[in-house]
Amino acid sequence: MRVPLLDLHEQLKPLREEIIAAVTEVIDSTTYIMGPKVEQLEREVASYSGAAHGIGVASGTDALLAVLMTIGVGPGDLVLTTPYTFFATMGCVLRLGARPLFVDIDPISYNLDPGLMEEALAADPDRTARIKAIIPVHLYGQCADMARIMAVADRYGIPVVEDAAQAIGAACPMPENGQVVWRRAGSLGLAGCFSFFPSKNLGGVGDGGMIVCQDADFAERVKIIRVHGGAPRYHHGVVGGNFRLDPIQAVVLSIKLAHLDSWHHQRRENAARYRRLFRESGLLENDLVTLPVAVYEAAAGAAGCRDYHIYNQFVIRASRRDELRTYLQAAGVGVEVYYPIPLHRQKCLAGLGYDELTYPTSEQAATQTLALPIYPELTAAAQEQVVASIAAFYAQGE
Ligand SMILES: *Cc1c(COP(=O)(O)O)cnc(C)c1O
């Protein structure tokens, strides 16, 4: 049996008729740009995330770009972020002529390390004055330590933009009036950015994205940036772009959003099953395989919150990772490395002063991590096969 990393057929099957009817309705309506279907999805995603406003855009990348443009990030500015993320997080910074200031990740969560962030901000006041935004990434479907990140960022007055592309619906504990409240990704910083790329937990039938935020004035400014900076139309006080979301994507995403919580739940069940299978396999005892840690699980359980992790990816650390990857691919098990090259090592930064910099935790993660299939419809038999194949690889020895 082949086990793909992701199989969207099973998700599509029960929704196919409804999706085709909704897409047909959009086509027959002849409203192909924006309109009520996009506005409906914006309200739904904002409400789902606990944010006041939603602004549909063409991709997660455009969400980040439009937010940074609205903040006014430009040449000479710095944006503090992690070197262990998808390229788009940094690509948007560079496209605006600004530069990333990297802070290494926490080795357990793979997310921005708030202690190192605090050190970096304190290290050089002149440099800190140039930081126009902080972008924590909620990697693999688990929120960064937003309580600490927000506290430090607020102290410095630097806006936080959440790259929540992999974490729609994931929650983390936030202190509020002496209590702890569980808040969802995207609702915590100045703005949150979602991606509806098909492999994300909420994926369209093509590209799509959304920005959510709490501030009405910021939402209005993002909406102007989304349409070339024209407000009113053909009057351009600022330069924006065409960052709009299609109503065809919006209707598909509205249909899927109703199922998102149950898909998250199935992914968590699959994660629990992997944990049991790996424990039984003996692979954990000699550190051949290290399982991902759901850092908020215990606290969430005590608080009755289910959304401590949405497992967009289930990422293990594996000894002899590259050999294991080749072995599994040959055995028909779909796996992937997110991400093999930390951003500070990317060629497009050559000559910009990043060559001597080192971020050891990110660099180590890049050599050890391996994402296993975790999609909601994955069967128990398929998971057994994944773990059996990994055990078979290590059983052959060096
Ligand atoms: C997917 C992703 C993006 C970009 O989203 P697109 O919709 O593909 O443009 C940005 N950041 C992270 C962390 C992502 O995983």
pLDDT digits (tens, 9 = 90+) for 84-137: 999 999 999 999 999 999 999 999 999 999 999 999 999 999 999 999 999 999
Q: Are 176 and 166 in contact (CB under 8 A)?
A: no
Read off the pLDDT of each residue in 203-217 and give the average, rounded to a whole number: 98
Question: What is the predicted pLDDT for the residue at 397?
Answer: 79
- pLDDT tens for residues 224-236? 999 999 999 999 9
CA pair distance 238, 78, nearest whole angstrom: 21
CA pair distance 84, 90, nearest whole angstrom: 10
Instruction: Give me ligand 1 centre to Cα 147, in Å.
Output: 23
Residue 309's identity, in one-letter code, is H
Length of the chain, in residues? 398
CA pair distance 284, 282, nearest whole angstrom: 5
Q: In whole angstroms, what separates CA 358 from the centre of its chain? A: 24
Residue 388 CA neighbour count, 13 Å, CB half: 11
- pLDDT tens for residues 148-175? 999 999 999 999 999 999 999 999 999 9
The three-state secondary structure class of 320 is coil
Phi, psi of 226, rounded to the nearest 5 degrees: -65, -25
Ligand 1 pocket mutation, candidates 92, 94, 105, 163, criterion most atoms within 8 A of CB: 163
The H or E element spanning position 112 is none
CA pair distance 99, 289, nearest whole angstrom: 36
Read off the pLDDT of each residue in 344-372 and give the average, rounded to a whole number: 97
Closest ligand 1 atom to Cα of 200: 1
Domains of the chain: 8-257 (3.40.640.10), 260-395 (3.90.1150.10)
Q: Is 137 in the pocket of ligand 1 (CB under 6 A)?
A: yes
Q: Are 112 and 136 in contact (CB under 8 A)?
A: yes
Q: In whole angstroms, what separates CA 390 from the centre of its chain? A: 27
Closest ligand 1 atom to Cα of 166: 15
> Is the pLDDT assigned to residue 398 strictly greater than 80?
no
Question: What is the predicted pLDDT for the residue at 286?
Answer: 84
CA pair distance 224, 237, nearest whole angstrom: 10
CA pair distance 101, 81, nearest whole angstrom: 6
Confidence band, pLDDT 50/70/90 cuts, at residue 292: very high
> Is the pLDDT assigned to residue 81 strictly greater than 90?
yes
Read off the pLDDT of each residue in 342-365 and give the average, rounded to a whole number: 96
- What does pTM read for this prediction? 0.98
Question: What is the predicted pLDDT for the residue at 220?
Answer: 98
Question: What is the predicted pLDDT for the residue at 135?
Answer: 98
Instruction: Give me ligand 1 centre to Cα 195, in Å.
Output: 6
Q: Is 59 in the pocket of ligand 1 (CB under 6 A)?
A: yes
Closest CA to 333 of 276, 382, 377: 382
Read off the pLDDT of each residue in 48-70 and give the average, rounded to a whole number: 98
> Is the pLDDT assigned to residue 273 strictly greater than 90?
yes
DSSP 190-254: SEEEEE--TTSSS--SS--EEEEES-HHHHHHHHHHHBTTBSSTT-BSS---B-BPPHHHHHHHH
CA pair distance 268, 266, nearest whole angstrom: 5
Percent of the chain with pLDDT over 70: 100
Closest ligand 1 atom to Cα of 138: 13
> Is the pLDDT assigned to residue 324 strictly greater than 80?
yes
Q: In whole angstroms, what separates CA 63 from the centre of its chain? A: 12
Query: Which residue has the least CA distance to atom 5 on ligand 1?
Result: 60
Residue 299's identity, in one-letter code, is A
Pairing of β 191-195 and β 179-184: unpaired
Closest CA to 81 of 16, 20, 159, 19: 159
CA pair distance 31, 157, nearest whole angstrom: 42
Closest ligand 1 atom to Cα of 199: 1
Ligand 1 pocket mutation, candidates 92, 195, 199, 311, criterion most atoms within 8 A of CB: 195
